[in-house]
Amino acid sequence: MVIETTKITGGLVIDGTGTPARKMDVLIAGDAIQSVGESIPEKGDVIIDAAGLHVVPGFIDMHGHSDLIIMGNPLCPEKILQGVTTDVVGNCGVSIAPSTEDSIKLYGQVIVNVMGGDKTPPIPDHGKLFERLAEMGHSLNIAALVPQGNIRVSVMGIDTTPAPKDKLDEMKAILDRCLSAGAFGMSTGLIYPPGSDTTTGELIELAKVLKDHGGFYASHVRNEMKGVIDAVEEALRIGREAGVGVEISHLKAAMNDRATPKLLATIQAARDAGADVTADMYPYIAGATSLGAIILPGWLLAKSGPELTRAMVDPAMKKRVYDEALSNLLRFVKISPSFRHFIPRAFVSFVIGLLAKRVIVTKVGVSKEGVAGKRLDAILKTDPGLANEKGLIDKTLALLGREQGDVMIAMFQESEEKTLIPIMKAPFVMIGTDNIIGHPRTWGCYPQLIGTYVRDKGVLTLEEAIRKSTSLPASRLRLTDRGIIRPGYKADIVTFDLATIKDNATYENWTLPPSGIKHVLVNGKLTAKDGVHLKARAGVVLRNKK
């Protein structure tokens, strides 16, 4: 068999380790890098002229969330066109596998609301997931985490009580099976049900299963606002007691900038004491999530769309939903839900009014126009369909009811100076897109990092930004053949023009592809050129090594 060679000539190579850029050629044979040097004598069957461009390892998206989207479109242009070559899926406790007929009925809508895409049939474990991916063929390499939410709903349904021993054993067995198939760890999303209903003790027991597989614990922690320090400490404790590494997902201090120094010091102290702790982040001051998934109770989200709408206009049900939604809101500001009866509605409305000024609604489930793209406070004040509701919390619930629980939001919640930049500069923090409907990071995360935070604002050196996007996530995943441009490593490579690289996506128009990314190679195969996806499906499923 003849192995095709590709030579990338004359580019400024940044190898991904943090070493300064150097003008070098890169020779690729088949799917791997054969040599890197100042002038390589071999000709190469294909020549890529990289004069004036930077040549870097393909980006490893530590927080990819492409699970459901990839099933609908295995080419994942939103990732490939911004230079991502490996996507970590299964984040935040939510994914398409493991799942059963019953769990999809209860949890399918949450999955679709949070991740986008269409419902898929049940996939019982990661062995089956990887078979399906291989049959389809896909452009990205995929590394999967096992989502705790899926496991719990499969075994416990929407029961919110702690799991008894036999159920816990059942959950452990599912996790063990998925890890044996090659998943890299377990993720939790502790602000969404059922994660929000799961005790720390139960999570520690599950995390112990990770140890034998060399897996790590990734967590969207229980509180990213006022309770963020306690929430990160919970994640550190789970890692410590289970004896496994910890990845804090999309690290932030939301509407709590003052906590940032302590947040970073808490993680650094754990690292200094020998804990294997890292974190990821996206380079934007706005977060994004499903408003329904964080406010509404799990039993309500388990209903189909029209059923949910009906339940939320039923007067008897309304009282229960109000009570539970208020409890969920109070948890975010670290007030015990048991205080909810003492808090006047007027005060709740006042707080929601303040928050709503910072929120843009990016997508809704039902209304075709007049809602998406607007600020939440404007919708609550002027939407004629909500005029009959009294306070802002009733209006918010009525909006959620009308939209069948599906309201995606972007929320401006961090100071760039006080929170985003200090987190970005922390050496243990890597980059992940946290791909989600309605947020520009989905199409523009890495160009935003390089264009805005390296070139325009000088926050990071280019070499450090590339390290955070390549070899750092590779080391979290313990990949020994990706994330660095070095002979013997897989040829996942990106070239870009530092002068023109730019995230073009916005909160109003979030699906615009970036500028400046010139070539994207996945396993040696040219997959995108000058912003055009060439439809190659050279991605593979990566499997964790024990």
Site for Zn ion, rule CB under 5 A: 92, 220
Of 249 and 309, nearer to Zn ion (C-beta) is: 249
Paired tokens of 192: 């969404």
Of 280 and 383, nearer to Zn ion (C-beta) is: 280
Distance of CA 506 to the CA centre of its chain: 18
Distance CA(318)–CA(306), nearest Å, equals 16
Q: Closest distance between Zn ion and the C-beta of residue 304, in Å? A: 24
Q: Closest distance between Zn ion and the C-beta of residue 360, in Å? A: 18
One-letter amino acid for residue 545 of the chain: K
Residue 500: how many CB atoms within 10 A of its CB? 14
Of 114 and 174, nearer to Zn ion (C-beta) is: 114
Residue 281: how many CB atoms within 10 A of its CB? 25
Of 282 and 428, nearer to Zn ion (C-beta) is: 282
Distance CA(239)–CA(203), nearest Å, equals 10
Of 220 and 402, nearer to Zn ion (C-beta) is: 220
Of 141 and 219, nearer to Zn ion (C-beta) is: 219
Q: Closest distance between Zn ion and the C-beta of residue 387, in Å? A: 34
According to DSSP, the residues that pair with 280 across neighbouring strands are 430
Distance CA(356)–CA(352), nearest Å, equals 6
Of 115 and 355, nearer to Zn ion (C-beta) is: 115
Q: Are 484 and 473 in contact (CB under 8 A)?
A: no
Distance CA(68)–CA(79), nearest Å, equals 14
According to DSSP, the residues that pair with 61 across neighbouring strands are 87
Of 298 and 401, nearer to Zn ion (C-beta) is: 298
Q: Are 68 and 96 in contact (CB under 8 A)?
A: yes
Cα angle, residue 47 at apex, residues 43 and 52 outer, rounded to 5°: 115
Q: Closest distance between Zn ion and the C-beta of residue 294, in Å? A: 10
> DSSP state, 451?
I
Q: Closest distance between Zn ion and the C-beta of residue 131, in Å? A: 27
Distance CA(320)–CA(359), nearest Å, equals 25
> DSSP state, 320?
H
- The pairing of strands 359-364 and 407-412 is antiparallel
